[in-house]
Amino acid sequence: MNRKTLSVHTQTVIAAGRRYLCEFRPQPHGGYLVTCRTFLPLSAYGETLEQARAKAREGIEAWIEYADARELA
C-alpha cells in the first residue's frame, strides 16, 4: 500500500454548534481513526469518512454533556 494514502489529514467537525479541528488517520486495513486534541483522549472510528465524522461528532457531544453535568453538580 502506498504510504501517501495513509497520511493524516485534518478536518473540522461541527458538534453542539461549534467547530472542532480533528485528525483523521486512515488505517492500514480500512477505516479511519479520528482524534481531537480539544477532547483528549477522545478517539472515534468509522469505516468511511462519513461514519468517522459522525462518530467523532457523537464523542465530542458526549464530552460536552459530561462537562455540563459536572458543572451542575
Q: What is the pLDDT of residues 18-66, one digit of tens each?
A: 999 999 999 999 999 999 988 888 899 999 999 999 999 999 999 999 8
Q: What is the pLDDT of residue 34?
A: 96
Q: What is the pLDDT of residue 1?
A: 47
Residues 64, 15 contacting (CB under 8 angstroms): yes
Grid coordinates given for 35: 482524534
Residues 43, 58 contacting (CB under 8 angstroms): no
Total-model pTM:
0.81
User: For residue 9, which amino acid is it?
Assistant: H
